[in-house]
């Protein structure tokens, strides 16, 4: 009887654990644009640094733990309308390349971060921008709430314009603005809020 009771207890614990893992693994999350942000920094003439952002982000995490975040490049916002127009036309070329898309496997995060806790991670993924795809690693802090996940960069991601064939666009912007230089190394940071 004692052995039978022990087996039943073990099987019950196993069932609870398996169910919990399955629920975590199949959780589907949606990006909340109103509580998310993505900013990038530009430096011109060697010393003048400005912070810009994008107004529209879309994203999700599938039941298998594949995260996708799409940045609407048309929504670039620098605080100067003419500069926004030039970025859309000459840098991002949004008529042909309207979005930048980052994808990553975050299934381990879904399984390891407990509710009401935070943990740091390195998230390797792929960034598709301007017709090119490159490997990118994001160092982030993941905070899990009751029905919310917040992922924020702990240090900027450094994007090289030439890796995505954006160097010519940067040079065109420099020429139009009459600047001496515009850096082709662009730090990017974000706060992404996903909800269940």
- Ordered by where they begin, the domains of the chain are 27-195 (2.40.128.110)
d(CA 163, CA 134): 8
Burial of 4 (C-beta count, 10 Å sphere; 0-12/13-18/19+) = exposed
Name residue 192's beta-bridge partners.
151
CA distance 9 to 112: 25
Res. 135: pLDDT tops 70: yes
Q: What is the mean pLDDT of residues 98-102?
A: 98
- DSSP per-residue codes, 137-166: EEEEEEEE-SSEEEEEESS-EEEEGGGGT-
d(CA 65, CA 110): 7
**pLDDT (mean) for 1-20:** 46
pTM score of the predicted model: 0.85
- Give which of 183, 93, 50 is closest to 85, Cα–Cα: 93
Would the pLDDT of 107 be above 90?
Answer: yes
DSSP SS3 for 20: helix
Name the residue with higher pLDDT: 21 or 82: 82
């Amino acid at each position: 009887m004692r052995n039978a009771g022990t087996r039943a207890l073990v099987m019950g614990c196993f069932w609870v654990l398996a169910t919990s893992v399955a629920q975590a693994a199949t959780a589907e999350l949606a990006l909340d644009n109103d509580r998310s942000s993505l900013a990038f920094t530009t430096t011109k003439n060697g010393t003048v640094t400005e912070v810009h952002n994008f107004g529209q982000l879309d994203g999700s995490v599938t039941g298998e733990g594949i995260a996708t975040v799409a940045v609407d490049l048309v929504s670039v916002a620098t605080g100067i309308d003419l500069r926004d127009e030039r970025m859309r036309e000459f840098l991002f070329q949004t008529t042909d390349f309207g979005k930048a898309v980052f994808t990553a496997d975050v299934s381990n995060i879904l399984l390891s971060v407990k509710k009401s806790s935070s943990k740091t991670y390195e998230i390797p993924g792929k960034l598709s921008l301007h017709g090119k795809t490159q490997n990118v690693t994001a160092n982030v802090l993941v905070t899990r709430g009751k029905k919310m996940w917040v992922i924020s960069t702990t240090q900027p991601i450094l994007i090289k314009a030439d890796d995505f064939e954006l160097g010519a666009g940067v040079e065109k912007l420099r020429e139009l603005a009459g600047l001496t230089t515009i850096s082709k190394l662009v730090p990017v940071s974000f706060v992404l809020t996903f909800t269940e």
